[in-house]
Amino acid sequence: MTTRFKTSIFAAALLAGIPLAAQAHPDRPKLDTNGDGSVDLAEMQAAKADFTVEQFNKADTNGDGLLSRDELRQAHHRARFGRLDKDGDGGISLAELQAVKPGATAEHFAKMDADGNGQVTQEEMRAMHQERHRRHAERKDRKPEEG
């Protein structure tokens, strides 16, 4: 039951991150309609009619015909990265970042660009997200109750 609940939450995050039409109902997003913990192509297309087999296969990294939560999350990150990486060279330059986030400064960029080569890779972006999640969790741990 818990897993199923988490999958729904996760589906919400995934759909929210994909700027295409045909999103599931925002109050009860449900990709995994048969509740087996994974999402197959039919379930994906039920939620997003324009989702292609090609997209599915790309997301299905282990090729078992199902998208696990992990695979969905990775697909989500990839999609996000792909939107930023306009020239598709596998790295996000400051200009590419600013094209999407005009408020982003060189300082922001430097924080993401861990190895300082002027390109933020998917790996660097993922590391940054993980770090942010971790710090967020730590902060919550440190202040169990306040106010």
Could you tell me the smallest distance in angstroms from the CB atom of residue 13 to Ca ion?
Answer: 18
Smaller CB separation from Ca ion, 101 or 136: 101
Smaller CB separation from Ca ion, 65 or 137: 65
Smaller CB separation from Ca ion, 46 or 66: 66
Could you tell me the smallest distance in angstroms from the CB atom of residue 94 to Ca ion?
Answer: 10
Could you tell me the smallest distance in angstroms from the CB atom of residue 83 to Ca ion?
Answer: 11
Q: Under the rule (CB under 5 A), what is the footprint of Ca ion?
A: 60, 62, 64, 66, 71, 85, 87, 89, 91, 113, 115, 117, 119
Chain centroid to Cα 72, Å, comes to 8
Give one DSSP letter per residue of 59-111, joined into a string: H-TT-SS-B-HHHHHHHHHHHHHHHH-TT-SSEE-HHHHHHH-TT--HHHHHH
11: exposed, middle or buried (Cβ count in 10 Å: 0-12, 13-18, 19+): buried
